[in-house]
Structure 1
Amino acid sequence: MDERWADLAYSAGWELVRRAPEGAGRAVFRHLADRSWRAHDGGTRGLERNLRRLLGPGATDARLRALSRAGMRSYMRYYYEMFRLPAMDERYILGRTRATGIEVLEKHIGSGRGVVAALPHMGNWDHAGAWITLRGTPLTTVAQRLSPESLFERFTAYRESLGMEVLPLTGGGNTVATLARRLRDGGLVCLLADRDIHGTGLEVDFFGERARVPSGPAALALNTGAALMPVSLWYDGPYWNIRVHDEIPVAEGPTRSARIQATAQELARVFEGAIAEHPEDWHMLQPVFSLDHEQDRLRRPGAGAADLRPPGRRNG
């Protein structure tokens, strides 16, 4: 799909989903999920690569396929609710949300201490952002710049309409400095933290393998003194569930980089437990594990003969 058509498709999606009866809309998105799953398309294959690590080597193909089907349905539920969220009234959003641990986060904000809420790609993070702003806590987040620019602007305007401040990941000034200011001012910063987009993140142990995660949440907590609090999200029938986990103290260590590394590892450990409890709601279709990143790199056009040798054997 070219950029112009992508923008038009998303625009039409927002309008149609908001106008259509909820039952019919959910049925359509469930059908789209099942169609992608049956076709075993690239997104489904990517999800299954990640879920296989979660399930372990003893999992059967049947178990993996059943979990990926539930995962694709959960993923498309997120998209349906994302399109429909601006049409949901406050009572609906607040009444269908079950949260634990939120009082501790709000206590930090109320006392003037900033909070870095670090989330995996679980459940519905747009809903979680709208929910907490409705409770009176504004937040700042970061969005990956999309192409075309009009589509990025549409997503940004959508999230801002829900009460969020949205900063671009790239091309928008010093985003890190702005996040640090918000935290020093006692604000809430929410960051998705289980996928390294640019290949500049940290390697951690994750479900028995090395995986790449962003360093930002741990670095911001170290630099500003903000509380680093993991947050997990999942569905339970018609309800949205939010769990704010205990604060992760910034680790001790001989160097700044060692402290960030150890803190990021502890964050990954909390994510492991949360994802393992609700694996069908982990919407991770992109590479996370270092081996998958490496294989993707080798498949890119222009990879030389030396690059096609297995990792660890490039010098001999």
Structure 2
Amino acid sequence: MKDRLSDGLYGAGWATVKKLPEPVAAGLGRRIADLAWKRRGKSVLRLEANLARVVPDATPERLAELSKAGMRSYMRYWMESFRLPVWSKERVERGVDMKGAHHLEEGLAAGRGVVVALPHLANWDLAGAWATRALGVPFTTVAERLKPETLFDRFVAYRESLGMEVLPHTGGSAFGTLARRLRAGGLVCLVADRDLSAAGTEVTFFGATARMPAGPAMLAQQTGALLLPATLWYDGPVMKGRIHPPVEVPDTGTRAEKTSVMTQAVADVFAAGIAEHPEDWHMLQRLWLADLEERPEREGGTA
């Protein structure tokens, strides 16, 4: 019943919100966010606990302000995502200001293939729509399998409508397909600040140990593709972003050692971007190993 309800709610969102005038949809998102924040449910408390690591000197009042702003940012992500399929190329271009795009364009022009790694900042789907519609560059990504399967199918169809090729995280050979796309000079975009496999690479993140996916670094090593970290944030009506310089493959070390160095470099870029805009980091799950040890069962994803 819970699965069917979730699927129905998301379906209603995609069907209804995209028909609303944009200011109405934005206002609705803020009201839903404020209601969820006031209820102080598990997701809000987890967001606050995560933000306490990002802003360790924050007072309880400041953390409450950040978590409220964070829930508004998170619901803005959903309101925009429900509307993205009907946004024109011009609307996407108007809504995104991306710095450092030359790193991406030069890498693709050289035929090397490019891996862009992003954290759960602002709206990564909007960044994807910017790549496919504003730059005209299709790309491949990986999505966590959600329950029920019909909900996962909705997300796949939604992202494919934006010009993405979507591979399931489990139940297939995603890594091999990504490697083939990169060897052909293509673009791969991966949300990479939360490990879903429990076999990721350990990094130091805001002074404590966390695991992050090893895939971006391993793909860059195996295929010769550029590895470009990216960060995003909201600034008024516009989502801004920055594509950072490439993370180089170390000259020496084993594959595991190189992966560790590269993943830490990506984590450091993520941390700097999150510290600048903590209210736009949509991490409503446990991330650090110390927190995972307190409650080993895996929490749900943010799609």
Match of 1:99 in 2: 98
TM-score (norm 1): 0.92
Match of 2:141 in 1: 141
Match of 2:226 in 1: 227
CA spacing shift, 1:97–1:290, aligned 2, 3 Å: same
Cα offsets for 1:187-239 (capped at 9, x unmatched): 11000110012211111100011111111111111111110000111111010
Displacement of 1:253 in angstroms is 3.8
Displacement of 1:103 in angstroms is 1.4
Displacement of 1:182 in angstroms is 0.5
Contact 2:34 / 2:71 at 8 angstroms: preserved in 1?
yes
Structure 1 residues 112-131: aligned runs within 5 Å: 112-131=111-130
Match of 2:16 in 1: 16
1:59 partnered with 2:76? no
SS in 2 for 1:98: strand
Structure 1 stretches of 4+ moved >4 Å: none
* Whole-Å separation in 1 of the counterparts to 2:70 and 2:259: 31
SS in 1 for 2:295: helix
Contact 2:103 / 2:244 at 8 angstroms: preserved in 1?
no
* Whole-Å separation in 2 of the counterparts to 1:124 and 1:259: 30
Cα offsets for 1:7-29 (capped at 9, x unmatched): 11111111110112222211111
SS in 2 for 1:297: coil
* Whole-Å separation in 2 of the counterparts to 1:70 and 1:215: 31
Structure 1 residues 1-316: aligned runs within 5 Å: 2-56=2-56, 58-134=57-133, 135-171=135-171, 173-297=172-296
CA spacing shift, 1:187–1:298, aligned 2, 3 Å: closer
* Whole-Å separation in 2 of the counterparts to 1:298 and 1:147: 16
TM-score (norm 2): 0.95
Gapped regions of structure 1 (runs ≥ 5):
301-316
Gapped regions of structure 2 (runs ≥ 5):
none
| AA partner of residue 10 (structure 1) | Y
* Whole-Å separation in 2 of the counterparts to 1:261 and 1:293: 20
| AA partner of residue 227 (structure 1) | L
CA spacing shift, 1:90–1:267, aligned 2, 3 Å: same
Displacement of 1:155 in angstroms is 0.6
- Select the structure of larger CA radius of gyration: 1
Displacement of 1:242 in angstroms is 1.8
Fraction of identical pairs, as percent: 52
* Whole-Å separation in 2 of the counterparts to 1:193 and 1:126: 14
Cα offsets for 1:125-149 (capped at 9, x unmatched): 1111111111111110000111111
Give the number of equivalent residue pairs. Answer: 298
Cα offsets for 1:152-172 (capped at 9, x unmatched): 11110110010010011011x
SS in 2 for 1:128: helix
